[in-house]
Chains A and B, each alone.
Chain A
Amino acid sequence: DTEVTQTPKHLVMGMTNKKSLKCEQHMGHRAMYWYKQKAKKPPELMFVYSYEKLSINESVPSRFSPECPNSSLLNLHLHALQPEDSALYLCASSRQSTNTEAFFGQGTRLTVV
């Protein structure tokens, strides 16, 4: 089983709202990722967690706040977003943060109005 589950599938939020994206995997993977993907562009790395610790933050604005409560869960807290933040947000996991392939969820389509 190589399933990464993301919820919700779609989200519309106003610029003053606070919302969270959730990601879950039960493969025993110890690395988890958040990517942002705009239309016709490749996924762009935002954050990497390794063994529940944030190991990479690709200079993402503070209105995006990641959280890894345990080895199976990854959240992305959203606050005061801008319309240009509208995109497909992808979560991924891998056995570890080096060498191994990553498996992706189906994404959350976020629209900021």
Chain B
Amino acid sequence: EDQVTQSPEALRLQEGESSSLNCSYTVSGLRGLFWYRQDPGKGPEFLFTLYSAGEEKEKERLKATLTKKESFLHITAPKPEDSATYLCAVRLDQGGKLIFGQGTELSVKP
């Protein structure tokens, strides 16, 4: 069965305290892995696309990496405005299915 698992479920950081979020996947036919940020009551905001093991993408304080079984979202020196739920999604080789992990709720305190 295709599965996407994110850890931890929740993460509390102090401003400036770097950390990583994990997304592990077991899917038959990966057609891309995507990271999104979601603020309460809003739609997910696209961050990164990763296709191949070894690929890395960077944007401001965020860096996403991909291996054959998992992806990491590294957050360097986070600020309170980085507080949100971060969702990982994988696109399956099944006519357009895009399935999400459970998300990591990140809280950054000043």
Contacts and interface: CB of A to CB of B under 8 A. Distances in A.
Interface residues of B, number: 26
Given A42-B103, A97-B95, A97-B96, A2 B31 contact: no
**Dominant SS among interface residues on chain A:** strand
Given A99-B32, A101-B46, A43 B95 contact: no
B32 A43 contact: no
Contact of B43 (A50, A97, A98, A107): A107
B42 interface: yes
Interface residues of A, number: 30
Contacts, number: 70
Interface string B23-43: 000000001101010000111
A107 to B, nearest CB: 5
Contacts of A104: 36, 43-46
Given A100-B32, A104-B46, 18 more contacts: A6-B43, A42-B87, A42-B101, A43-B44, A45-B99, A48-B95, A48-B96, A50-B95, A55-B96, A88-B41, A90-B43, A90-B44, A98-B96, A101-B46, A102-B34, A102-B46, A104-B36, A104-B45
